[in-house]
Structure 1
Amino acid sequence: MTLRSILGYLAVALAALYALVVVPAAGDMTTMINGTVYASYGVLVLSLALIWGYAGILSFGQAAFFGIGGYVYAVAALNLGDTTLSAFIAVLAATGFAALLGYFMFWGRLSDVYLGVVTLTVSLILYRFMNQTAGDEWTIGVAPLGGFNGIPSTPILTVPGDPDTMLEPEQIYMLAILALLASYLLCKFLLATRFGRIIVGIRENESRVELLGYDSRYYKLAIFSLAGGIAGVGGVLFANCVFVSPNMFNLQTNGQIIIWVIVGGLGTLAGPVIGCFLMLMLATELGTLGQGAAASWADPNLIMGVILTAFVLVLRKGLLPMSLAAFDRMVSGRSRSGELAVPVEKSVAAE
């Protein structure tokens, strides 16, 4: 294992330790609620980072599985009264929907552009459909879909085996952080296996992989379905810190995910999560700016657009890859300076 890998794992461990120990110890409820939102989006962006960065599958509509996870959880929890079972059902539903959609796309041999268009179209169809479910006739069991208002009465997760005891906000926060960490470790483990190496090979040269005897359709379907399930986990977490609404499917949500991956660094797992957190914090600060004295001259949306455009133009590879490249240059520079110093010392000793 290289020094860079060791430092990477150490950074992830320190970040997890800070989120799981330091933040709860401070007892700031607002920070923990915002942290739950950030973690739910972090799980979502991780699902896109996996399939886009490592499998070469650009899904413009990854929020579709995020929204399905949230809506299925809310509907199942209202009808079953068991939030733990409902959470599993929601993740399975998101995984199954991704598998069904992926089957038609991959067996249809859609190119990257058309695949992105199809996924985005599906997400926008769900957004439009859920917006028009405001009538009394749009109910599933006892769960009203609510139209553009969503389902504000989404039940909060309860203690497994004890449906009468709801989890507190700080417990939901801890669960969200653990889910993000588990999703990250699952992706890292998967990419280190033979399956992961084949997935990366498909991204690099799909035709060559198929000539070696692998049917790329099965591998792409498997990774796409897994990513859908991970996004569904994010949807369940989001439903427990906000509530489900059609905005989970909209164009803005889908666009943000793409931006987060680009800012953090395509081809990495931690980078998009970092990009997600930074962009969300920036959006929050700009929203606060827009409400203050600077509201007359500062448009948060305009400022965000300018910053993102400049950022992408200057740091095209993303934050994490650029940081790692700078670290490699620093280490290699020190190594070269050390190698040059040895002969000089030897020559002086010889004299």
Structure 2
Amino acid sequence: MIQPASGAVSSTPRQLALPRLLRLAPWVLAFCLPLVVDANASGNFAYCLVWAFSAVGLAAMWGQGGILSFGQTAFFGLSGYTYGIVTLNLGDGWISSWSGLIIGLLVSAGVAVLLGYMIFYGKIKGVFIGIVTLSVTLVLETFMAQTAGPQWVVGEARLNGYNGMTGMPPLTLPWFGGPVTLENIRFYYLVLVLLALVYALMRRLLDSPFGLALVAIRENPQRAEMLGIDIRRHQLLIFVLGCTLGGLSGALYTIWGSYITPSAMGLTSAAMPVIWVATAGRKSIGAAIIGTAVLVWLSQWLAVYGSQYALILMGAVLLFVVLAAPEGLLPSASNWARWVFTRRPPKSRSFETQKRSES
């Protein structure tokens, strides 16, 4: 039976990055946060959580399946623009906003199927997947930046080129006293509930035989194929799922700010999810959520003094992680805490890694 590699996403006690009780602590703190901050601050924290969906998708692709993609922001932008086009044409109302969200996810999933099919069934592997996905992202960003003319109109929605689309309505819910607008605290709790649901479903999926097959493909594709695993189908499925989560980030971002611009798909934006996931720990979706929320919050705080400071911080953090904690900060901190509190040694390296070091 195939066993997950050390540090892979799993719910078994030996492989949990944090004790079971401590895993619940971030969710409890996140739930109680609006009780101690005002509505505007809750909306700002919702912005930090919005990006976590994209990070979860990348952690599943990269950490579990070994697929490094720079395309999360491409699907982020696709879903955001789709939401804007749908809602600006359908007008206000809960049917319009929820239709925009659902159609945005469907567009992201459909494009991911086409791109993933060309990548995996075209036998593109390794670093070339990152090159292809980054190229697609930059092509989309360049194209959307050139749509400033009056001819670039979809119904009532103008694309507006580099200035982007604005004026999209927020999410609303039908209620007895009239529609309820999901803004600030309400939007924060919506994002938090969706994130908890995605986290639970992704853990269940990655702990299933499908997730174990992804680990086998990541560790040794040739051996996995000899065992009868359809590696291309598994890679395509996790790629589509991860990209769709990137699209969910884009739709929620557009709902949060009522705008979307081509810069959301630029080179800097494309690199950010990779930095967040690498820094937090690519083999743990829980670490990816926490790390992304913290790093996005730090970036926004530093951006008040200048956007260059946030980029310098991200570069410095990534350099430190690559040199000192290649598995990510949170898994490394977990191993250290395990040694301090239980006197257990950190997780041992794999047999193949030890064999290479001894030779």
Scaled to the shorter chain, the TM-score interval is: 0.7 to 0.9
Distance 1:8 1:231 in 2: 29
AA aligned opposite 2:119: M
Given that 1:262 and 1:317 are in contact with CA atoms closer than 8 Å, whether structure 2 keeps it comes out as: yes
Which of 214, 227, 234 aligns to 1:199? It is 214
Q: 2:250 aligns with which of 215, 235, 239?
A: 235
Are 2:93 and 1:83 aligned? no
In terms of Rg, which structure is larger? Answer: 1
Q: Deviations over 1:38-84 (max 9, x none)?
A: 11111111110110000000102221111111111111112234111
CA drift at 1:299: 5.3
SS in 2 for 1:31: helix
Q: Which residue of 1 aligns with 2:357?
A: none
Within 5 Å, give how 1:105-254 maps onto structure 2: 105-160=119-174, 165-242=180-257, 243-254=259-270
CA displacement at 1:276 relative to structure 2: 1.5
CA contact (8 A) 1:84 1:160 kept: no
Q: Give the drift of 1:302.
A: 3.9
Is the 8 Å Cα contact of residues 162 and 261 (structure 2) preserved in structure 1?
yes
Cα distance change of structure 1 residues 227 and 290 upon mapping to structure 2, 3 Å threshold? closer
Which of 269, 274, 286 pairs up with 2:302?
286
Q: Distance in 2 between matches of 1:123 and 1:334?
A: 44
| Secondary structure in 1 matching 2:260 | coil
Aligned positions of 1:335-350 closer than 5 A: none
Give the TM-score of the pair, scaled to structure 1: 0.86
Mapped partners of 1:300, 1:248: distance in 2:
16
Counterpart of 1:277, as a letter, is A
Could you tell me how far 1:303 is from its partner in structure 2? 5.1
Partners in 1 of 2:83 and 2:344 — Cα distance?
Answer: 53
Distance in 1 of aligned mates of 2:339 and 2:44: 36
Whole-angstrom distance in 2 between the partners of 1:129 and 1:51: 27
Superposed CA offset, 1:216-257 (max 9, x none): 111111111111111111111111112211122111111111
> What TM-score results when the alignment is normalised by the length of structure 2?
0.85
Partners of 1:5 and 1:307 in 2: how far apart? 24
Distance 1:183 1:253 in 2: 23
In terms of mean alpha carbon deviation, does 65-74 or 307-316 score higher? 307-316
Greater helix proportion: 1
Deviation at 1:110, TM superposition (A): 0.3
> Against the structure 1 CA distance between its residues 195 and 8, is the aligned structure 2 distance closer, same or farther, given a 3 Å change threshold?
same
How many residues align? The count is 328
Residue 29 of structure 2 corresponds to residue 18 of structure 1: yes
3-state SS of paired residue (2:343): helix
Whether the 8 Å CA contact 2:73–2:264 is kept in 1: the answer is yes
In 2, Cα distance between the equivalents of 1:7 and 1:174?
A: 24
Counterpart position of 2:286: 270
Q: Is the 8 A contact 2:300 2:310 kept in 1?
A: no
Unaligned 5+ segments in structure 1 are: 292-297, 336-351
Range with bigger deviation, 238-247 or 300-309: 300-309
Pairwise mapping of residues 21-100 of structure 1 onto structure 2 (< 5 A)? Answer: 22-81=32-91, 82-100=96-114
Tell me the equivalent position of 1:315: 325
Residues 321 and 329 of structure 2 are in contact (CA less than 8 Å); yes or no, is this contact kept in structure 1? no
Q: What is the alpha-carbon distance in structure 2 between the residues aligned to residue 3 and residue 149 of structure 1? A: 50
Q: Could you say what the CA RMSD is over the residues aligned between the two structures, in angstroms?
A: 2.3
CA distance in 2, matches of 1:283, 1:310: 17
Shift of 1:124: 0.4
CA apart distance, 1:34 = 1.5
Summarize deviations over 1:305-342 as a string: whole Å, max 9, x none. 3444234322222111102211332355279xxxxxxx
- State the distance in 2 between where 1:334 and 1:100 align: 47
- Matched position secondary structure for 2:165: coil
**C-alpha distance in 2 between matches for 1:280 and 1:121:** 24
TM-fit CA distance, 1:304:
4.8
Structure 1 residues 121 and 179, CA, compared in 2 at 3 Å: closer, same or farther? Answer: same
State how far apart, in whole Å, the 2-side matches of 1:265 and 1:113 are: 19
How far 1:204 moved relative to its partner?
0.9
Residues 168 and 83 of structure 1: CA distance in aligned 2, closer, same or farther (over 3 Å): same
- For 1:39 and 1:2, the matched residues in 2 are separated by 27
Q: Which amino acid aligns with 1:146?
A: N
- Aligned to 2:143, what secondary structure does the other structure show? helix
